[in-house]
Amino acid sequence: MKEKIIALAKSNCADIVGFASADQFDKNDPVFKIFPNVKTVIGLGFRVLRGIYRGTEEGTTYYQYTTMAVENMEETIMPMTALKVCNLIEENGYIAVPQRRHQQIMREENSTNPEVAYDAVYRGKAAENQMNFVDAAVKCGLGEKGLSGALLTDEFGPFVRCCFVLTDMELEADEEKSPHLCDKCGKCIKACPGRAISEEGEVDPWQCAVYYNGANGTKNPFMPPDAFSDFENRLEIISGEARVTPETARKILDNIFFYPPAQHAYQCSICGRACDTACYIHLEEKGVLTKKFKTPFRTRDEWKFSIEDFK
Ligand code: SF4
Ligand code: SF4
């Protein structure tokens, strides 16, 4: 049955499939609240196309990442694959509970998800039983957690997204991978245009939201020279030096309308997940990724506008 599940998932867009026993999860883990009789957690990993990052790398098109690597994957491709796996399991008389990340709910009361509009997020009780997706992916053997908190896989580095199926079918677990990709190089931290990741690898979600959405004008081809004209610290914001609070972040985000959002409250990523791209380039240069390409991802120096253009 395990082989059948892997074959079905892989013939329906999943790239990596891994299995964890429910015993690997803490007894207070949300998986037991979602499905008390869960025996196996199946992890489905999907590559984010390397070519989708091209538009940000070149500074040309940005919506391809948001629509094709976030919105369509999360809302269409990944749920479809999970449902097909669930149908196969239920055809065999077991229960299958699909688990995709709901981008608009979160446990923390005063946090946000950079990928969606901050005012479209439902906080608190609605999300208390949402799985920890990176933790579950590691338990399923899909990859390891990097310094920045991203899931790193042998095949695609951080260019991956995942969803899960909980089932009462007992299936052999895969081994968790011992961490071997992240060497704590810190390139993810340095690459962030808004200094949203601390030296310890903690991501400040509001700082990330502001710069994910493009507040750094030196990395945003669509920002007009007079952007944030009502802000006293506008040059700090535009250069990526500003430190935001949840309140100031909301104000800044209300003044970012340089690029159209996608559907389902998804915001356009102007940073293009520079943290993940820097990590990918680093792992590619080290030659540790198993999925090889004929040309390197970065072929010339990174572009950047001058802060002088906004003075
Ligand atoms: S960029 Fe370096 S430190 Fe950051 S997650 Fe990747 S390997 Fe780890
Ligand atoms: S590079 Fe983008 S996604 Fe990564 S932490 Fe910075 S703002 Fe957030």
In single-letter form, the type of residue at position 307 comes to I
Q: Is 275 in the pocket of ligand 1 (CB under 6 A)?
A: no
Query: Is there a domain that residue 172 lies in?
Result: no
Q: Is 183 in the pocket of ligand 1 (CB under 6 A)?
A: yes
Residue range 281-296: mean pLDDT, rounded: 97
Q: Is 158 in the pocket of ligand 2 (CB under 6 A)?
A: no
> CB atoms < 10 A from the CB of 11, how many?
10
Residue 259 has pLDDT above 80, yes or no: no
Query: Is there a domain that residue 160 lies in?
Result: yes
Query: Is there a domain that residue 284 lies in?
Result: yes
Q: What is the pLDDT of residues 202-231, one digit of tens each?
A: 999 999 999 999 999 999 999 999 999 999
* Residue 158 sits in the same domain as residue 224: no
The confidence score (pLDDT) of residue 104 equals 87
* Residue 8 sits in the same domain as residue 48: yes
Entry pTM: 0.94
* Residue 58 sits in the same domain as residue 162: yes
* Residue 306 sits in the same domain as residue 199: yes
Answer for the pair 48, 162: CB distance below 8 angstroms, yes or no. no
* Residue 146 sits in the same domain as residue 240: no
Query: Is there a domain that residue 178 lies in?
Result: no
Using most ligand atoms within 8 A of CB, pick from 56, 148, 197, 243 the residue to mutate for ligand 2: 197
Cα separation values, 294 from 67, 116, 153, 260, Å: 26, 34, 20, 33
Instruction: Supply the range of the domain harboring residue 132.
Output: 2-167
Query: Is there a domain that residue 181 lies in?
Result: no
The confidence score (pLDDT) of residue 130 equals 85
Backbone angle region of 133, left / alpha / beta, with phi > 0 → left and psi within -120 to 50 → alpha? alpha
For the CA of 184, the closest atom of ligand 1 is 3
Query: Is there a domain that residue 222 lies in?
Result: yes
Query: Is there a domain that residue 99 lies in?
Result: yes
Residue having the nearest C-alpha atom to atom 3 of ligand 1: 184
Answer for the pair 82, 167: CB distance below 8 angstroms, yes or no. no
* Residue 123 sits in the same domain as residue 244: no
* Residue 139 sits in the same domain as residue 195: no
Residue 157 has pLDDT above 80, yes or no: yes
Gyration radius (Cα) of the chain, Å: 20
Question: Residue 210 Cα, ligand 1 centroid: separation in angstroms?
Answer: 22
Query: Is there a domain that residue 176 lies in?
Result: no
The token pair that represents 97 in the structure block: 């509970």
Cα separation values, 264 from 70, 109, 261, Å: 11, 21, 9
* β-strand partners of 122: 105
- Give the total number of structural domains in the chain: 2
Angle at 116 between CA 79 and CA 56, to 5 degrees: 90
Q: What is the pLDDT of residues 4-38, one digit of tens each?
A: 999 999 999 999 999 999 999 999 999 999 999 99
Q: Is 215 in the pocket of ligand 2 (CB under 6 A)?
A: no
